[in-house]
Chains A and B, each alone.
Chain A
Amino acid sequence: GEDVEQSLFLSVREGDSSVINCTYTDSSSTYLYWYKQEPGAGLQLLTYIFSNMDMKQDQRLTVLLNKKDKHLSLRIADTQTGDSAIYFCAESNDYKLSFGAGTTVTVRA
Chain B
Amino acid sequence: GAVVSQHPSRVICKSGTSVKIECRSLDFQATTMFWYRQFPKQSLMLMATSNEGSKATYEQGVEKDKFLINHASLTLSTLTVTSAHPEDSSFYICSARSSWGGIQETQYFGPGTRLLVL
Residues of A whose CB lies within 8 Å of any CB of B are 1, 30-31, 33, 35, 40-45, 48, 88, 92, 95-97, 99-102
Q: Which residue of A lies closest to B42 (CB)?
A: A101
Leading 8 A-B pairs by shortest Cβ distance: A43-B109, A42-B109, A42-B111, A42-B112, A92-B105, A99-B43, A101-B43, A99-B44
- On chain A, the residues within 8 Å of B108 by CB distance are 45
Cα separation A45 to B102 with both chains bound (whole Å): 14
Question: CB distance A42 to B110 under 8 Å?
Answer: yes
| With known contacts A40-B112, A43-B93, A48–B106 Cβ distance under 8 A | yes
Cα separation A101 to B46 with both chains bound (whole Å): 13
Query: Number of B interface residues, CB 8 Å?
Result: 24
Residues of B whose CB lies within 8 Å of any CB of A are 2, 4, 6, 32, 34, 42-44, 46, 49, 93, 95, 97, 103-112, 114
Question: CB distance A41 to B106 under 8 Å?
Answer: no
CB-contact partner of B109 in A30, A35, A101, under 8 A: A35
18 contacts between A and B (CB under 8 A): A41-B111, A42-B4, A42-B6, A42-B111, A43-B93, A43-B95, A45-B108, A48-B106, A88-B43, A92-B105, A92-B106, A95-B104, A96-B34, A96-B46, A97-B107, A99-B43, A100-B43, A102-B42
- On chain A, the residues within 8 Å of B106 by CB distance are 31, 33, 45, 48, 92
